[in-house]
Amino acid sequence: VAKMLENNGTYGVYGGAFVPPVLETQLKKLSDFFDQITQTDEFRTEFIDVLKDFVGRPSSLYYAKNLSEYVGSKIYLKREDLNHTGSHKINNAVGQILLAKKMGAKEIIAETGAGQHGMATATACAFLGLPCKIFMGAVDMERQALNVRRMRLLGAEIVAATTGNQTLKDAVDSALDYYINHPDSFYLLGSQVGPHPYPKMVGYFQSVIGNEARQQILNKEGRLPDSVIACLGGGSNAIGLFSAFIDDPQVKMYGAEGGGKNIANNTAATLNYGTPIVFQGTYSYCLTDADKNPIASKSIAAGLDYPGISPQ
């Protein structure tokens, strides 16, 4: 990830920070602090210890015997679902909350779609002792009611986003608005999207997935895999896995997007149907109309129901 990232927070022509002046100072401070703290043994050791003792890492690499026999290929599953809170989101949540505590933040705010990032944030905040406010689209709150209840039980305040399509995009917009007006808060973005330095930070904290998987497959098979596959919403789990194999041209990388009905204006397949624009603080692909205005994504999978994508 570091090799691809230029000093201005871009990956080639993509990325950057397109934000109002009120956010520029906050993001510059965040970027500088992140660069400094992640170079210290103290922070790295603390992060690794929390991943081991609280998250339950390393997550297993499981040989799916029956599925492999059915499709005729040898398939291993990187079991991020076995992490504490049930997904990869906890890796990034604990990393950013540790960072926030070092910066003296008074409150954590976050967005969530399927509820996985919200659950991870609420759980990590309860563990590390910071209050949190979770922004969630009203539609997602209905279809993920159990996760809403769990987050509230953990002490999180849930704020319904009632504008637009009332899903993940609108939750991000609401969280950003709150962040602008509450400089003492720390915005914990859950995916590898948004303005610099968020894609860099999320990529750093999620790289544990690929680093583990690479060593695990070498231990089990004595060689690298032919291909690695990940689902694509915003892209944090995908880049977490892909980052360990980017320098291996023999390893093919595949991303699976939420297809919806697989037609224009009724999909979440951003890389297949999107257009590069500035969206939510970064320049990357996004689902748009003919005038290049962002449009709502459509997918039955709440975690993939997002019109943008990681700039990396």
Percent of the chain residues past pLDDT 90, beyond the cut: 82
Amino acid 183: pLDDT: 85
- The neighbouring-strand residues paired with 252 are 227
Amino acid 6: pLDDT: 52
Say if residues 46 and 116 touch (Cβ distance below 8 Å). no
231-284: per-residue pLDDT in tens? 999 999 999 999 999 999 999 999 999 998 867 678 999 999 999 999 999 999
Residue segments in the chain with a per-residue pLDDT below the cut of 50 = 1-4
The full set of domains in the chain, from first to last, is 20-52+85-200 (3.40.50.1100)
- CB atoms under 10 Å from CB of 29, counted, come to 11
| Inter-helix orientation angle 145-153/116-128, to 10° | 10
**Which three-class secondary structure state does DSSP give residue 264?**
coil
Rg (the chain; Cα; Å): 19
Q: Which residues contact 213 (CB under 8 A, 6 or more apart)?
A: 61, 78, 228, 241, 244
- Using alpha carbons, list the distances in angstroms from residue 249 to 77, 126, 244, 253: 21, 42, 12, 9
Report the distance separating Cα 196 and Cα 200, nearest Å.
Answer: 7
| 186 sits in which H/E element | strand 185-187
Nearest Cα residue to 209 out of 68, 9, 51, 32: 51
Report the distance separating Cα 251 and Cα 205, nearest Å.
Answer: 22
**Which three-class secondary structure state does DSSP give residue 261?**
strand
- Using alpha carbons, list the distances in angstroms from residue 70 to 81, 207, 262: 22, 31, 26
